[in-house]
């Protein structure tokens, strides 16, 4: 708990962006969002918005307004202020500060679960199982010491790839509200060509729920790329595709608000930041 308090103390005096996001700050942001005191992204970054959220909560709770998430502030968070990170194995049905921290760690390591809310439900369990499969651990869906240690390692990295479309990116990989955007979006006119980011084989070509018309390529060594919201898919399942070959054309199918390419890169099932692989 002392370590968590020390991290939270940084919020009040933070004057520059941190190099690495903190799962403890993300858990604090989750608790503040649940109390309607913070509306920003759950990004683990201590800054003015998070500090202001702490002060808002403190004023509402009638406790000292100092911007520091100490014991009284944590009590004001209710269930989402309890249980320090690493203090217990986590399983379905659990709720608390440590669950929110686990959820953020899962998302930032490439295992999106929908919403970071501090409750260990079915989506969190499924993300834990994916993480365990990635790390070669028993897939029991319980976040014990080995799974929590896995999520303290650096996230997966993809090898260098070529750009699938020659337009500037817009919505990037990372936190979005209380969730996580698992890819990078390239806004472009419908019909703009989309090409393979590396040589590979088509493992999926068709409609995939919110992704709309989608192509997925397997490049070997556990690396896959996804091209979503297409208007046209130019390749069929099982086809070998050379780097730079046309795989489809930009569209707005699925849950898209406008024409763009949603591009994802996974390594052994873990989502990675496409911008790093593309040199963006």
Question: Which residue segment(s) compose the domain that 257 sits in?
Answer: 174-278
Q: Using CA atoms, how far apart are residues 252 and 111, in angstroms rounded to an integer?
A: 25
d(CA 266, CA 47): 30
Element (H, E) at 253: none
When pLDDT is averaged across residues 44-48 and rounded to a whole number, the result is 92
Same-domain status, 127 and 254: no
- Asked if residue 143 and residue 21 are part of one domain, the reply reads yes
Q: Clarify whether residues 110 and 215 are in a common domain.
A: no
Does some domain include residue 168? Answer: no
pLDDT tens digits, one per residue of 56-98: 999 999 999 999 898 999 999 999 999 999 999 999 999 999 9
Q: What is the mean pLDDT of residues 204-216?
A: 96
* Residues 144 and 180 reside in one and the same domain: no
Choose one of 150, 182, 205: the last residue of a domain.
Answer: 150
141, part of any domain: yes
131 lies in the same domain as 178 = no
Banded pLDDT at 20 (limits 50, 70, 90)? low
CATH code for the domain of 245: 2.70.70.10
Reduced to 3 states (helix: H, G, I; strand: E, B; else coil), residue 266 is: strand
56 and 130, same domain (yes or no): yes
State the average pLDDT over residues 177-186: 95
Please indicate, yes or no, if residue 111 is contained in any of the structural domains.
Answer: yes
Total structural domains within the chain? 2
Given pLDDT bands bounded at 50, 70 and 90, which one contains residue 280?
Answer: confident
Asked if residue 95 and residue 127 are part of one domain, the reply reads yes
Both 138 and 219 in a single domain?
no
Spell out the residues 6+ positions from residue 257 whose beta carbon is closer than 8 angstroms to its own. Answer: none
**For 99-157, what is each residue's pLDDT tens digit?**
999 999 999 999 999 999 999 999 999 999 999 999 999 999 999 999 999 999 999 99
CA 133 to CA 127: how far, in whole Å? Answer: 10
Confidence band, pLDDT 50/70/90 cuts, at residue 6:
very low
Contacts of 143 (CB under 8 A, 6+ apart): 89, 90, 91, 102, 128
* Residue 191 in domain: yes
- Regarding whether 139 and 227 lie in a shared domain, the answer is no
User: Could you say which of 83, 118, 150 is where a domain stops?
Assistant: 150
Question: How does the average pLDDT of the chain come out, rounded?
Answer: 92
Residue at 123 is within a domain: yes
224 closest CA partner among 251, 261, 196:
196
Task: Check which CATH number belongs to the domain holding 109 and give it.
Answer: 1.10.101.10
| Cα(232)–Cα(75) distance, integer angstroms | 53
- Shared-domain flag, residues 197 and 114: no
Q: Which residues share a beta bridge with 228?
A: 262
């Amino acid at each position: 708990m002392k370590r968590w308090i020390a991290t939270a103390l940084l919020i009040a005096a933070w004057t520059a962006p941190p190099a690495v996001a903190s799962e403890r700050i993300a858990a604090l942001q989750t608790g503040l969002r649940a109390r309607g005191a913070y509306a920003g992204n759950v990004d683990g970054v201590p800054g003015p918005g998070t500090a202001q959220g702490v002060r808002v909560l403190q004023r509402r709770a009638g406790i000292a307004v100092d911007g520091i998430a100490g014991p009284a502030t944590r009590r004001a968070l209710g269930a989402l202020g309890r249980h320090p990170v690493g203090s217990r194995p986590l399983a379905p049905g659990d709720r608390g500060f440590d669950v929110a921290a686990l959820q953020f760690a899962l998302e930032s390591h490439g295992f999106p679960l929908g919403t970071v809310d501090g409750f260990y439900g079915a989506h969190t369990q499924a993300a834990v199982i994916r993480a365990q499969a990635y790390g070669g651990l028993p897939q029991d869906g319980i976040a014990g010491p080995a799974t929590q240690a896995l999520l303290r390692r650096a996230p997966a990295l993809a090898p260098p790839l070529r750009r699938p479309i020659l337009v500037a990116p817009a919505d990037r990989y990372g936190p979005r509200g209380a969730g996580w955007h698992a890819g990078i979006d390239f806004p472009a006119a419908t019909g703009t060509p989309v090409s393979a980011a590396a040589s590979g084989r088509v493992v999926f070509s068709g409609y995939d729920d919110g992704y709309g018309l989608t192509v997925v390529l397997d490049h070997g060594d556990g690396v896959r790329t996804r091209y979503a919201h297409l208007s046209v898919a130019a390749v069929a399942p099982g086809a070998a595709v050379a780097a730079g070959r046309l795989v489809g054309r930009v569209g707005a199918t699925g849950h898209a608000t406008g024409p763009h390419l949603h591009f994802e890169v996974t390594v052994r099932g873990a989502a990675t930041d496409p911008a790093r692989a593309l040199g963006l």
